[in-house]
A and B are shown apart, each in its own frame.
Chain A
Amino acid sequence: MNTKISALTVSVTWLGAMAILAAVIAGTGRFGESLTAFLPRSGSTVQRALVQGLHTGEAAHILLLAIRGGTGSERAHVSRVLARELGRDTGEFSLVANGGQGMAQGLAAFVFAHRYQLAPRTSWTVRALRHDLRRDLAILESPAGLSAGRMLADPTGAFMAAARPWERVRGPRVRHGVWVSRHGRSALLLLKTRASGFAVGPQRRALERIRTGFAHAARGTALALTIGGTGAITVAANDKVADSAKVLTIIDLVLVTGILGFVYRSVPPLAASLVPLVTGALCATAITGLVFGRLAITTLGFGTMLIGVAMDYPTYVLLHVRPGEHVSRAARRVGRALGLAMAAMVMGFSTMMGSHLAGLVQLGVFAAIGLVAAAAAARYILPFMMPAWQPTADLGAWDARAARFSAGLRRMRAGVVVVALAAGGMLWARGPRVWDNHLSALSPASHALMRKTGRLSHAFGVPGLSSLVVVVAADREQALSRSAALQPVLAGLRHAGALGGYQMAAQYLPSRAVQRRRLQALPRSSVLRRRLRAAAAGLPFRRRAFRAFITAVARARHAPLLVPADVPAAVRARVDDLLMRVHGRGVAFVQVTDVRKARRVAQAIAASKVAGVHYVVVKRAVGRLLARYRAALLRHALIAGALMAVVIAIGLRSLREAARLVLPMAAAIVTACALLVATGPGLTLLNLVALLLIAGLCMGYALFLGDNGLVPERRGLAPWVCAAATITGFGVLASAPVAMLRSVGVTVSAGALLALIFTAAWSARRTPPVAGGPHG
């Protein structure tokens, strides 16, 4: 009775502690976006700017909507109602456009008022003016003439020139007063969310808002809505992972519970099996979050996977409970082995803490804390939750089977060597081609949705973020003027068909030097009046029509220079996206669209000799960041492996035993790699992390399979049970519809199987299953 009460106390206390940890995580935990984890801590401004640009740039905020079905006027009507309704929600959307509006609010007035600073013109000769006036006359005599009443207030067309960058050069067509797709079968809307497209929660809210708005607007019609854009991809990917994870978790639970239930034949051990993993994960999340302030999602995912080895700890403890024995005694018996395995892994992962990649440091800390906490829970908490538990099943027959199987495998050692060598040789021959460098390999997003977004973006003429020119300078003003220096180069490239177009802040807001030059070029009123008279000679203009023009020029000559803060709020985001401060330096982005000759563009930009200019192909640059992370992880994994071997050799006090343990592990990992490379597109970062998990699992198998004297009265069946649970669990994941989950599932289940077979082949001795005293 007493033991029951204390068991209850321990359980309740543990639950309370976990609840506190969960509250700590919920209260203080801030989870960062994953890409920043790939950044070197001392990364270059270009890299930082790139990541910042990817996450805050215009492209990440845009949602594209298409309304299909029904008739054209029905679609137009719904488009208008929806735009009006969503436009009211200024908290969620910074822009709602369906083609019904002209320029953004306040922008036209701003551009008109400052047209002589914004327009790229400095020639005010009689000749230039006469050229303008002839053109004006042609317009006045055209069908547009009647609308051009105010034209002579701006006879040089400065407003048009200044407004050009602000207008979408290739917007969609308009039918029934709203944007439509090329074939006119769907109405299009463009939305900009305030939240980044990578923020799941706000994006889900925005999508929800759009869908209810549409349902409301389209009530009683047969119209359908399609939503594309970064936000839609983010949410869909998240839902897909969550959905498949839900179903698979249930299948997993049933199967793993079946295996463990067959072994234990009672409920408490099943529940207690989760104690170490939960303890480890919660402790690690809470502490890492507190230490770093911000936990990358990647760290959380990878880290939890690494400490998945803790699922084996309770099995090792509980399977070693002998009839009539307290669980804590069994825990003490296996404690040394578990402690050694844990210490080896922790030592291994601690090398990551010295990495220069923020993500790896976090991962190392997370895994180390998680493993220590999990092992401590298995050794000191779990046994006291169910101190008097007794094994009820007679597994003697299974022990014998496992022993026979191990003995059988032992005879095939030569085969293991051959397989491992062949696998190693194959990896060697492939060289760097073993890596899968496609970014999508790491993304859970569906390709269909990405394609859809691509099509929608094309219909809108929204620039896909494919390449960028990043201009780094001491401050924003300098970055602005340097990027402006690139303009002739880019214009030349566009003219030559090497690229489709470009966007830079300097088009919207010229640098102060340029503004000053333009204003200084403006003639004095008397001079302007004289030149204008000369230019208009023989043309039918009334002289008084130019009065407003002369006043405007006179006023502009003394106008203050514009700064980013002067741009109307509705469109300031576009300037802010292209001109930023990153780590105290000024960074200007030039978005380059539709690059057809990448090499030529790169060469021309390099040849421009503008200081601080970097041409970045986004996909390649992000790929390079990932490759660096991967290389660092690989390097640390190898160091970790070596360190693990050393720790094990010290723990076992025998080099031979350590080799017996580590070599099969290495062979299993190499073979698993070769298998993955041979059957799939190649290895990714995820595979690498999964392989680290296998190293941990394998260590457990080896310690409990071999006669290394670490575990008195070792039970050979334990690793087989552990492996069966792991292989089943991750095997289910291998059937997931999300490539990312599938890859992890295949890697771990195949790796665990190989690890078990290889270690069994190498360490099994013909010893009775549950017998044998301590060896020296």
Chain B
Amino acid sequence: MLLKTVAHAVHRKVHFTEVNHLASLKYPVRTRGTLEYVKPDTLVMTQSAPRQAIYRIVGDRLYVNRTRRGVPVSRFPGVIALVSGFEGLLSGNYALLNHDFTTRLQGDRKAWRLVLRPRLTVLRKALASVAISGHGARFARIVTRAPNGDRSDMRILP
């Protein structure tokens, strides 16, 4: 029911800010930009800081800026989680989510939290969990954790 509510709501561009805490860098990476989901399988992330970049994820391929040759998303488990989360939630396709992840939904319609954990070992090596939380039909926050302690905290601006 909740998924349906979300699915109906989002077909517009949303603004986000993201903080990535990475073990290999001396300080966290702060990014911001917009996210847009285009049915059926395209997710466009436009970064305006720290650098101008457009990432298009179409199906299983990631296209950076205007390049025509994409790379398989499978190389980036974090991106898979992001795409699956968005696609699954926005298309109301719970089965899709359940294929790749174990899912746990907490809270009620007003304030909810969906936690995804990868099922496949390949994914688990690079991704510990994705927690998506929101209010009603709106995403508020996506927290992604990697097994090595790396963490991304993305906030969707109202």
Least Cβ distance of B33 to chain A in Å?
9
Beta-carbon contact of A145 and B72 below 8 Å: no
CB-CB under 8 A for A141 and B31, given A149-B24, A545-B24: yes
For A146, give its contact among B69, B78, B99 (CB under 8 Å).
B78
Interface flags, B68-104, vs A, CB<8A=1, else 0:
0100101111110010000000000101100110000
Beta-carbon contact of B96 and A540 below 8 Å: no
Beta-carbon contact of B20 and A146 below 8 Å: yes
A143 lies within 8 A of chain B by Cβ = yes
Interface residues on B, range: 35 or more
For B50, give its contact among A141, A148, A173, A176 (CB under 8 Å).
A141
CB contacts (< 8 Å) of A175 on chain B: these are: 40-41, 59
CB contacts (< 8 Å) of A102 on chain B: these are: 72, 74, 122
CA distance A489 to B46 in the complex (A): 38
Least Cβ distance of B84 to chain A in Å?
9
A177 lies within 8 A of chain B by Cβ = yes
CA distance A130 to B50 in the complex (A): 19
CA distance A684 to B66 in the complex (A): 53
30 contacts between A and B (CB under 8 A): A102-B74, A138-B53, A140-B20, A140-B25, A141-B50, A142-B64, A143-B45, A143-B76, A144-B78, A145-B29, A146-B20, A146-B22, A146-B127, A146-B151, A147-B76, A147-B126, A147-B127, A147-B146, A148-B76, A149-B24, A149-B147, A149-B148, A149-B150, A150-B126, A152-B24, A160-B75, A173-B60, A175-B40, A541-B24, A542-B24
Interface centre among A99, A138, A141, A175 (most CB of B within 10 A): A141
Beta-carbon contact of A177 and B23 below 8 Å: no
CB-CB under 8 A for A146 and B74, given A99-B60, A102-B122: no
Least Cβ distance of B25 to chain A in Å?
5
Closest to B43 in A: A143
Number of interface residues, chain A, beta carbon within 8 A: 31
CB-CB under 8 A for A142 and B152, given A175-B41, A540-B25, A545-B23: no
Least Cβ distance of A79 to chain B in Å?
12
CA distance A145 to B96 in the complex (A): 24
CA distance A184 to B27 in the complex (A): 43
Beta-carbon contact of A73 and B126 below 8 Å: no
Interface on A for B, CB 8 Å cutoff? 73, 99, 102, 138, 140-152, 160, 167, 169, 171, 173-177, 184, 540-542, 545
CB contacts (< 8 Å) of B126 on chain A: these are: 147, 149-150
CA distance A167 to B73 in the complex (A): 13
CB contacts (< 8 Å) of B45 on chain A: these are: 143
Closest to B29 in A: A141
CB-CB under 8 A for A174 and B144, given A143-B45, A143-B79, A149-B23: no
Closest to A180 in B: B59
CA distance A174 to B70 in the complex (A): 13
Closest to B82 in A: A143
Interface on B for A, CB 8 Å cutoff? 20, 22-27, 29, 31, 40-41, 45, 47, 50-51, 53, 55, 58-60, 62, 64, 69, 72, 74-79, 82, 93, 95-96, 99-100, 122, 126-127, 144, 146-148, 150-152
Given A152-B24, A175-B59, 11 new contacts (CB under 8 A) = A73-B93, A99-B60, A140-B22, A141-B31, A142-B53, A144-B75, A146-B78, A149-B22, A176-B99, A540-B25, A545-B23
CB-CB under 8 A for A145 and B20, given A102-B122, A167-B72, A541-B26: yes
CA distance A540 to B30 in the complex (A): 13
Least Cβ distance of B100 to chain A in Å?
7
CB contacts (< 8 Å) of A73 on chain B: these are: 93, 95-96
CB contacts (< 8 Å) of B148 on chain A: these are: 149
CB contacts (< 8 Å) of B122 on chain A: these are: 102
Closest to B74 in A: A102
Closest to A73 in B: B95
Beta-carbon contact of A146 and B23 below 8 Å: no
CA distance A147 to B93 in the complex (A): 24
CB-CB under 8 A for A147 and B78, given A102-B122, A545-B23: yes
Least Cβ distance of A186 to chain B in Å?
15
Beta-carbon contact of A140 and B79 below 8 Å: no
CB contacts (< 8 Å) of A167 on chain B: these are: 72
Least Cβ distance of B51 to chain A in Å?
7
Closest to A169 in B: B69
CB-CB under 8 A for A145 and B60, given A73-B93, A138-B51: no
